[in-house]
Amino acid sequence: MSRKSLPIGIFDSGIGGLTVMQEVVRVLPGEDIIYLGDTARVPYGTKSRETVVKYALENAEFLVYRGIKLLVVACNTASAYALSELSARLSVPVVGVIEPGARMAVGITRTKKVGVIGTDGTIRSGAYFDAIKKIDSKVVVYLRTCPLFVPLAEEGWTDNQVALLTARVYLESFVEEGIDTLVLGCTHYPLLKRTIKRVLGEEVVLIDSAEATSHEVRRVLSEHRLLRTRQNRGRFKFFVTDSPQRFQEVGIRFFNAPIKARLVSIGN
């Protein structure tokens, strides 16, 4: 089997990475994809760098062992903490979600004031701040953690009063600061887009890193001459580290097709 015909590997701490997979499928419909959701150890956003790096390496090892041509780290916290370690250790190219989102934000902002929201881990790591400053040091970056957005998205409370009130508390300072671009630095946040827009106004552009990442995946595959050229649609395999049931149920909100996941044991 040629390397070209190997699948793309994607991992996330759980369900959120399905929004990234969805975009990759849209941009590269012919590619096979293996998705791993580490649902037994989700969430990563509140855990330490050491723990997240360990989990990320174990997840990557599982996918590489099955044979992949490129790894997508579809989790902002894992990208923030573990991307350089993964790139250094693996023989396949590795794409994270942070750099593509940062590049897109810098390309779009006119006021040079960019907001970034994410989990504790992602924000504390400084990864978005560094990535944006490296592309354009003149951009002013405003950071904010939004710990309740993930449980709200998983509860399906994305458009109710609780979501709106929570978004007001988290985001109102951005309005005064005058940002014109907001990076949704967590794969769960796109589900709250409408509510976020109600607080920030229609003129603020929301950057969904899933979209930016899918283009980066195509670029890297093309650069390595690993793009698959065929007419058939790709096949998908889903693996989870906790019972597939909840993943399959909640996954429908994140991925517009039925999901059949298999339970695997990782890190034991």
Q: How far is the CB of 222 from a copy of itself (least distance, A)?
A: 38
What's the CA gap between 33 and 218, in Å, rounded? 13
Neighbouring C-beta atoms of residue 148, cutoff 10 Å? 16
Neighbouring C-beta atoms of residue 24, cutoff 10 Å? 25
What's the CA gap between 68 and 4, in Å, rounded? 9
What part of residues 182-241 is at the interface with a copy of itself (CB under 8 A)?
Answer: 241
Q: How far is the CB of 183 from a copy of itself (least distance, A)?
A: 21
Identify which of residues 108 and 169 has a Cβ nearer to a copy of itself in the complex.
Answer: 169
Of 182, 188, 155, 151, nearest to 74 by C-alpha is: 188
Q: How far is the CB of 263 from a copy of itself (least distance, A)?
A: 8
Q: Which residues are catalytic?
A: 75, 186
Among 165, 252, 257, 264, binds a copy of itself (CB under 8 A): 165
Among 23, 31, 99, 154, binds a copy of itself (CB under 8 A): 154
Look at the block and give the residue holding tokens 């855990």: 47
Identify which of residues 47 and 103 has a Cβ nearer to a copy of itself in the complex.
Answer: 47
- What are the Cα distances from residue 87, in Å, to 90, 91, 130, 137? 6, 8, 18, 25
- Binding region for a copy of itself (CB under 8 A) out of 73-81, 89-97, 160-168, 201-209: 160-168
What's the CA gap between 74 and 24, in Å, rounded? 11
- Binding region for a copy of itself (CB under 8 A) out of 87-95, 107-115, 144-152, 200-208: 144-152
- What are the Cα distances from residue 33, in Å, to 18, 37, 55, 235? 11, 13, 20, 6
What part of residues 35-74 is at the interface with a copy of itself (CB under 8 A)?
Answer: 39-42, 46-51
First-to-last C-alpha distance (Å) of the chain: 31
Q: How far is CA 222 from the centre of its chain?
A: 21
Identify which of residues 165 and 252 has a Cβ nearer to a copy of itself in the complex.
Answer: 165
β-bridge partners, 72: 10, 95
Identify which of residues 256 and 268 has a Cβ nearer to a copy of itself in the complex.
Answer: 268
Residue 143 DSSP class: E
Residue 176 is a binding residue for a copy of itself (CB under 8 A): no
On whether the CB atoms of residues 250 and 15 are closer than 8 A, the answer is: yes
x/- site string to a copy of itself, residues 230 to 259, per CB under 8 A?
A: -----------xxx-xx-------------
Q: What does the binding site for a copy of itself look like in residue numbers (CB under 8 A)?
A: 39-42, 46-51, 147-148, 150-152, 154-155, 157, 160-162, 165-166, 169, 241-243, 245-246, 267-268
